[in-house]
Homo-oligomer: A and B are copies of this chain.
Amino acid sequence: MMSRVPIPPHRDAFGHQVWAYFKDHRSPAEIVERDDGFVSFSENTAWYFGDVRRWSASERRAIRLARGHRALDVGCGAGRVALHLQERGFDVTAIDNSPLVVKTAIARGVKDARVLPFENITRFGSNTFDTVVMFGNNFGLFGSRARAKRLLKQLHRITREGAVILAQSLDPHQTRQPAHLAYQGRNRRRGRLPGQIRIRVRFNEFVGPWFDYLLVSAAEMSAIVDGTGWDVDRFLTEDPRYVAVIRRV
């Protein structure tokens, strides 16, 4: 998970959650708090460590479409995607804004993992990457429609001709939970996309910083991508999730 600045160590709840699993092989729950007070939990932590055979069907299908030689893994977590692409011979740069997550990824063998907020991809040179991966719902790291458009243009700059973005999202409209529908209604009235959720991670005594995470339908994603130098080629659907294969125009 990512936001605008690196997470300071005393707020690195997500990093501690991932690190605890890495060190102890206890699988702590992931507890996420939304700014309306809604809390959700999942037994998710082991998932950040999953070998490709354990990935979702749409991620497994999509990752075969990685192309070229240089890949950028956005929101790398414990490095599951970076490690897989390294094995396939890619030169991978993995970024995350959690110091402990990056420490975990490095300890697991990711050769180039960096604490770098997504905003700071401006530091990469033009024409650097052939593939950008945003798995694990990490299209969400774009945070908002405006920020997505801006960062997609940056991704256009730092990628080469023929590049591809493989980005997963979760359709927020596939819910009947009243609290979610009320939250989406408030977002609409404020001019935000319905699935722009403001959340933070809780882990033991660690309270992560608030950040915006953007969940979109396929149609909403297409509208965002439009005019940024990218085109959605197709969606690999696995309701309520899907991976979009987005090609550089």
Contact = CB atoms under 8 A, between A and B. Distances in A.
Interface of A: 29, 31, 33, 36-41, 177, 179, 202-207
A interface SS class: strand
21 contacts: A29-B29, A29-B41, A31-B31, A31-B39, A31-B41, A33-B202, A36-B205, A37-B202, A37-B205, A37-B206, A37-B207, A38-B204, A38-B205, A39-B202, A39-B203, A39-B204, A40-B204, A41-B41, A177-B204, A179-B204, A179-B205
Contacts of A207: 37
In the A-B complex, the 6 residue pairs with the smallest Cβ-Cβ separation, listed nearest first, are A179-B205, A39-B202, A38-B205, A29-B41, A37-B207, A41-B41
A207 B205 CA distance: 18
Nearest to A40: B204
Contacts of A204: 38-40, 177, 179
A139 B241 CA distance: 45
Contacts of A202: 33, 37, 39
Contacts of A179: 204-205
Given A31-B41, A37-B205, 17 more contacts: A29-B29, A29-B41, A31-B31, A31-B39, A36-B205, A37-B202, A37-B206, A37-B207, A38-B204, A38-B205, A39-B202, A39-B203, A39-B204, A41-B41, A177-B204, A179-B204, A179-B205
